[in-house]
Amino acid sequence: MDQSLFQATAGHISSRFQTQEDVEVARENKKKEWEDAYKRIGQEPPPQEPEEEHDGRTLYERLQTQKEIKNEEWDTKMKLSNQWRGLNAEEKRFLQDKEEEKRRAQKEIETRETEELRQYRERLAERKGGIGSDVPPPPTSAPAAKVVAKKVPVKDGKKKDVKTLMKGVVVKKKAKAPAATNPATEEAPTAKIGSKRDASDVGDEGGEDEKRRKVEKAE
């Protein structure tokens, strides 16, 4: 009983395994069936993708290999020497076109500014020319002013008459003596008045003489 059970289990397990020859025969049969099916419908069979080779490694080993490959790619990408690259032909052509457009725009601006400046100068010259035609030009040299010596009038050497010089002189009149009422009381004032009158007469005569001398000196 146990022997028969063991043989049945061994036969079942052995039927699950296939040799490489069995795999190749099954693949050729499948390919032939595939081509026959397309021939029946009158079409060419499409190219088949190559089957992946059997990898005998475990899943952990395969994942670890993929992780290492990704880490190497990342390190290579992040190197400083690999972060800078040269421009290709298309990028160089694009930059050259942009630079040429910039130069043309700058040249157009300069040409327009030069033309506007020329027109402005022409208008300014025409305006100045119109103003200059109406107004006569100023003389180049002013004539020298003639110096005329003024003659000083010479005074007449004739002496003026003394009477004409004495016209402005005012001579005071002598005061009249009041009537005598009392000889005793009026004697002293009379004497005083007389002395004053004499002094005034002398002063008037002296003043006239002094004025006469001044006039003669002035002549």
Q: pLDDT per residue over 15-29, tens digit each?
A: 566 777 888 888 889
State the DSSP code for 41: T
104: nearest Cα among 92, 116, 112: 112
pLDDT at 193: 47
pLDDT at 44: 80
Per-domain residue ranges for the chain? Answer: 90-129
pLDDT above 60: residue 192: no
pLDDT in tens, 58-115: 999 999 999 999 999 988 888 776 667 778 889 899 999 999 999 999 999 999 999 9
Q: Mean pLDDT for the chain?
A: 71
Confidence (pTM): 0.25
- Residue 148 — very low, low, confident or very high, per pLDDT cuts 50/70/90? very low
In this prediction, residues 132-148 reach a mean pLDDT of 51
pLDDT above 50: residue 33: yes
pLDDT at 45: 76
Residue 174's region, left for phi above 0, alpha for psi from -120 to 50, else beta, is: beta
